[in-house]
Amino acid sequence: MSRGIMAQDKKQEFIEIRGARENNLRNVTLRIPKRQITVFTGVSGSGKSSLVFDTIATEAQRQLYENFSMMVRTFLPRYSQPDADAIRNLGMAIVVDQKRLGGGSHSTMGTITDTYTLLRQLFALIGEPFVGYANVFSFNEPIGMCPECNGIGRKLQPIVGKFYDPAKSLNEGALQGPIFDESIYPTSGYFDNDKKLADFTEEEMDLLLYGAEQKFEYDGMNRTYRGVITNFTRAYIERDLKTRSEKTQEKIRQYLTEGPCPACKGARLNKSVLSCRVNGRNIAELSSMEVGELIGVIKEIKDERAKEVVADLARRLQNLIDIGLEYLTLNRETDTLSGGEGQRVKLVKHLGSSLIDVMYIFDEPSVGLHPRDIHRLNELLQRLRDMGNTVLVVEHDPDVIQVADHIVDLGPHAGTQGGEIVYEGSYDGLLKADTVTGKFMKEAMPIKQEFRQAKEQLQLKKVNLHNLKDVSVDIPVGVLTLVTGVAGSGKSSLISEAFVAQFPDAIVVDQTAVSTNPRSNPATYTGIMDDVRNAFAKANKVNAGLFSFNSKGACENCNGLGVVYTDLSFFERVKSPCEVCGGKRFKDEVLDYKLDGKSIVDVLEMTVRQALAFFTIPEVTRILQTMHDVGLDYLTLGQPLDTLSGGECQRIKLVSELHKAGSIYVLDEPTTGLHKADTAQLLDVINNLVDSGNTVIVIEHNMDVVRNADWVIDLGPEGGSKGGQVLFAGTPADLRQARQSITSQYV
């Protein structure tokens, strides 16, 4: 008897949703069984995220935060009440999404899972010699961190020569680069401002570059002097560059060089802390071990004083192994983890919780997992359920859907043609259902019979990077190449790093998130909005800025947002449509200007399909056609990006790159967030790219995509130190016979 059936024998409780209308939902009403696994599936854009995250999760978080004091709530995220008639019987929600783990250089896999905390306790209890209590072993505490690198383990050094031109004087603009206030130096009175820097004495250059903070007076005002490098170091090195915006990081990194800290050799801790050992190893050495190796070392510790800590630590490490992360190390920085790895780390963190009757909400937890490892994920989801929790999962993977106690299929299609429940029930019932999901669950794409022949080879020779072991491999030109293998086997190291470094002209579409906000939409993100504005401006002989709700054309009452937020002091802000523009975002006079009888608002309300029939501008129609080809023809041009699903965002990003001129494309898991039906459409786009004369390299676990490749490179056999080898290179048909390959079992 299944767990789901047994649950039905008891008095079953339900989460009740009535009349949900967020985004494209059409008055959705349903009952979700509590303390069971419910999987929400359906084509990309059908409304899964709108129902699960924008409605259920948002309301659960909102109701929880209402129980905190007014003062505490001012520091918490604010959630508006979802558009629904009623939502009842919610529990406390823990959302495990695909957002990358941040935290900068001081956040590691060990710290975020609290595993490093247990490791610190272990050394405080039985480490020899005794150097202090648990806080001493933290690289985030002044008492424990290496004083040279402030616990980062790496030392960033400014490239001094990039900050000045020795052939110029201060008056001629000798200083260059990220100088905060160039006027400080010529006004300080410390230098001859007309003297070439090449003629400066050693003492003058030292003062200019490395001078300590000191006060001086200029034009009756007190000013502060710091040397150029001193100022730069204080702002961007001592305060951890990784905490700054991506734009700032990109700008500053050209002035930096990086290497292991010469004092701690990357260990992050000071000499005193590193002298403390357990069974001959210090805490940094244990943190640098892969989890699969570390658990064996921990279990060898027999000291009775640390019996409980050892047991708890081994249990945490086993959870990481169970979810397929045995190849990671505890000192791995969290911002270097992929979206899939980050999500699994979050999952492990919650497995150690003693909370029960919690509502766990997962956003495609199978992302980044090889088919071999899906069963591990399923076992963990079942463990959470069996602890007495409600588990809600948005998922496309058939193997995850199969373990659900209850399935909700949304559709029938995407966008305005979706937003309805087309099936509710068991897995067996889904297979019989007349829905897109039901149809594709019963089918698997066959291996294609004819393979393209390579024109030549792109060679990678003797690559030694991360876990890659002297790897040499040929990438065929003019065909579709799939790079696959278990998580951590070295796929990204080989292609996204080594290959791209050797072939920098390659167009890379990776997994970095689309920047989503209410002011960004498909038209602005793909770049067609500039052409649209210019077309309106030319037709009406006015400034193009009038046709932007982020510029001159914006409604002055709502500043182009279309909504107005009313701040009610300590209470939640109330969002309401702008009374002046009626939610249209533009000034009234802008709407009088027409392009072929349509206002700018009319154009932004067009679907991609409608816009294709309306526009004749070549650049616009080319991008619109690409959006159509990747299955996004139902989106409106003005739909805010923050309302799109993960799969839709992935394809929007793909569109923005596919229209570029290039001969080599690198796609990193492009099927992320895609339904099997959408995957078939994506394959058509990729094949068109190849047929147009391009070389396309795809990093992927999706077996439908693997079966349709011309050439497959399989890495492994495992992840981390047990991976980094090319196990197979050949056609998908030949891969089936490669018994040394784990992937061969699933093709």
* Residues linked to residue 665 through DSSP beta bridges, in sequence order: 507, 696
Grade residue 9 by pLDDT with cuts at 50, 70 and 90: very low
The rounded percent of the chain whose pLDDT value lies above 90 is 62
Weakest mean pLDDT among 280-294, 469-483, 674-688: 674-688
Structural element, H or E, at residue 257: strand 256-260
Higher per-residue pLDDT: 294 or 9: 294
Model confidence at 104: pLDDT above 50: yes
pLDDT at 1: 37
pLDDT at 502: 95
The rounded percent of the chain whose pLDDT value lies above 70 is 95
Q: Burial, 678: exposed, middle or buried (Cβ in 10 Å; 0-12, 13-18, 19+)?
A: buried
Model confidence at 8: pLDDT above 50: no
Long-range contacts at 253-257 (CB < 8 A, ≥ 24 apart): 254/162, 255/158, 255/159, 255/162, 255/163, 255/177, 255/178, 256/156, 256/157, 256/158, 256/159, 257/156, 257/157, 257/158, 257/159
Q: What is the DSSP string of 52-81?
A: IIIIIIHHHHHHHHTTS-HHHHTTSPP-PP
Residue labelled with tokens 């699960």: 52
For the whole model, what pTM was predicted? 0.80
* Residues linked to residue 222 through DSSP beta bridges, in sequence order: 217
Cα→Cα distances 522→18, 25, 551, 644, 673, Å? 31, 20, 18, 10, 18
Higher per-residue pLDDT: 203 or 416: 203
Please say whether the beta carbons of 396 and 674 come within 8 A. Answer: yes
Model confidence at 678: pLDDT above 90: no
> Which stretches within 254-338 are classed as H helix?
271-274, 283-287, 291-299, 307-322
CA dist., res. 553 & res. 738, Å (int): 62
Grade residue 442 by pLDDT with cuts at 50, 70 and 90: confident
Long-range contacts at 583-589 (CB < 8 A, ≥ 24 apart): 584/555, 585/549, 585/554, 585/555, 585/558, 585/560, 585/561, 586/547, 586/549, 586/553, 586/554, 586/555, 586/560, 587/553, 587/554, 587/555, 587/556
Higher per-residue pLDDT: 733 or 236: 733
pLDDT at 131: 96
Model confidence at 160: pLDDT above 70: yes
Q: Burial, 477: exposed, middle or buried (Cβ in 10 Å; 0-12, 13-18, 19+)?
A: middle
pLDDT at 209: 93
**Which of 14-18, 63-67, 70-74 is most confident?**
14-18
Three-state SS for 529-589 is HHHHHHHHHHHHCCCHHHHCCCCCCECCCCCCCCEEEECCCCCCCEEEECCCCCCCCECHH
* CA geometry: angle 80, 70, 568, nearest 5 deg: 50
Q: What is the DSSP string of 314-349?
A: HHHHHHHHHTT-TT-BTT-BGGGS-HHHHHHHHHHH
**Which of 87-101, 248-262, 521-535 is most confident?**
521-535
Model confidence at 569: pLDDT above 50: no
* pLDDT tens, residue by residue, 371-388: 988 988 899 899 899 999
pLDDT at 4: 46
The sign of the CA dihedral 497, 683, 707, 366 is positive
* Residues linked to residue 322 through DSSP beta bridges, in sequence order: none
pLDDT at 513: 62
pLDDT average, residue stretch 717-735: 94
pLDDT average, residue stretch 521-530: 92
Model confidence at 71: pLDDT above 80: no
Model confidence at 599: pLDDT above 60: yes
Structural element, H or E, at residue 696: strand 695-699
The pLDDT mean for the chain works out to 89
pLDDT average, residue stretch 714-723: 92
* Residues linked to residue 20 through DSSP beta bridges, in sequence order: 28
Higher per-residue pLDDT: 367 or 280: 280
Residue in 342, 671, 371 with CA at minimum distance from that of residue 509:
671
CA dist., res. 309 & res. 317, Å (int): 12
pLDDT at 212: 92
Grade residue 516 by pLDDT with cuts at 50, 70 and 90: low
Model confidence at 590: pLDDT above 70: yes
Please say whether the beta carbons of 703 and 676 come within 8 A. Answer: no
* Residues linked to residue 259 through DSSP beta bridges, in sequence order: 155
> Which stretches within 100-227 are classed as H helix?
109-112, 115-126, 184-187, 202-210
The sign of the CA dihedral 540, 545, 550, 551 is negative
Q: What are phi and psi of 93, to 5 degrees?
A: -100, 135
pLDDT at 201: 94
CA dist., res. 359 & res. 384, Å (int): 10
Q: How many CB atoms lie within 10 A of CB 629?
A: 17
pLDDT average, residue stretch 237-257: 78
pLDDT at 660: 66
Weakest mean pLDDT among 136-150, 178-192, 511-525, 716-730: 511-525
pLDDT average, residue stretch 688-708: 93
pLDDT average, residue stretch 281-289: 97
Please say whether the beta carbons of 713 and 685 come within 8 A. Answer: no
